[in-house]
Amino acid sequence: MKVPHGVTLVVGLGISGLAIARFLSQRGVPFMLADTRSSPPGVTAFQTEFPDVPLYCGPLTELEVGEAEEIVLSPGVDPGTPGLEGMMRHDSPDGRGPRVVGEITLFVRACQAPIAAVTGSNAKSTVTTLLGEMALSSGRRVAVGGNLGTPALELLREQPDADLFVLELSSFQLETTQWLGAESVAFLNLCEDHLDRHGDLARYAAAKQAIFQGARHAVVNAEDDRTWPVSQPPTLDRFTSQHPVSGEWGVGKLADGTWLMHGDVALMRTADMALRGRHNQLNALAALAMGTRLGLSLDAMRDTLTRFPGLPHRGEWVAESGGVSWINDSKGTNVGATLAAINGLGPTLDGKLVLLAGGVGKGADFSPLGLPLAEYARQVILFGQDAEALEAALVKHVAVRRVENLEQAMAHARETAEPGDCVLLSPACASLDQFADYRERGDAFRRWVLSNAGGAPCFGH
């Protein structure tokens, strides 16, 4: 099959593919859609909405794309897919052939308002949502989405009068983005993830570096130089878990407790935050640094931090019973996320952590969890497909108990935890061996805790 001359080819059906199709249709751009799957989910809905748009399902190697005006990839489509090799980011060496871009490039072309963008291996959803709430409290007409919630192109359609767009951007979206031009960006952290797509950590990091292209302000992790821009933007802010030096955003220990600080200026007591844990203090600092650049009200940002409880399945405080806290961090699907939760919560407890972990490890190295667990954990309860691999990595550092499933893990945790302890579900693994996704796993945790742990939900935290 041949893509007609001058027609834009959209590759990949799904939420983003549908958003791309609607965007092009609204602007009168002729397009067709292709998907490598023979029967992709959502194909009926697409054909109902776009009955006259050609649809090709099958290998891209059998699709002649040379006459296409442009190729737009959905984030789920690997640019190295057979039929697309060597076409991304640049026009062909001989000046012929279609340009390959992603959905965010289309968004940037059409967006007339300032953009704030957040990336990182972990916590980007929390920081994106928190910054959006801060902007809303400051009276801005803010639209929040991207990799989180509503696709960026749908935001343009649904909130055309927005005066600020706050986007979470994944490495999949950034690797097809040549120029973002954001007012403020944040690169929060980096750990091994999505290596099945990117090949190695260096390529994964390089994909995320695209967030800095054209940025006027950037926020990076002072303790992780892999988040720093290769080409420095005009203004750079750093956040740290330590007492900040001049110009830094950090966590300072003062006479009356720990404070969020900007240089020598104490901004807010960490005890007054609804979010718990040192890792969430870092998230707050990143949002404060971006919000300050965007002209948001400091009072509104502080007020937001007293009210914002976090996102479901991301360090979600579920209940407290008998002095034991239960936290749902089911979104902790990689080692870096679980490390952040352990190091963030451990120092704040009167007791110890009881960690529930396991699932599909995706070939990860679990050994970095050993030392922090030795310091902060009472016991680790393991379940799921890669429980054995986790046990092998952790047994020299911390007491380990293996069970069959999450329900057994929670029941054992109830018997093990002591007053002052925290039972933390942060599996360091994907969930697909026993659950549909991390949400279903987290929902199961929440339901069991509220039914069996004997505590009340802590909605005020």
Active site residues: 124, 147, 194
User: Which helix (H) or strand (E) covers residue 252, if one does?
Assistant: strand 249-254
| Residues 214 and 234: beta-carbon distance below 8 Å | no
Q: Which two tokens stand for residue 251?
A: 């966590």
Strands (E), 58-163: 70-73, 99-102, 115-119, 142-146
Q: Which two tokens stand for residue 57?
A: 């399902």
| Residues 282 and 239: beta-carbon distance below 8 Å | yes
Q: Which two tokens stand for residue 389?
A: 């691999």
Q: Which of 313, 311, 277 is nearest to 445 (CA)?
A: 313
Question: 443: how many CB neighbours lie within 10 A of its CB?
Answer: 16
* Distance in angstroms (rounded) separating the CA atoms of residues 313 and 31: 38
Query: From residue 97, how far is each of 9, 32, 90, 290, 411 by CA, in Å?
Result: 12, 17, 10, 39, 60
* Distance in angstroms (rounded) separating the CA atoms of residues 349 and 382: 22
**Ordered alpha helix ranges (H), 294-437:** 298-307, 335-345, 370-376, 387-394, 406-416
Bridge partners, 56 (sequence order):
34
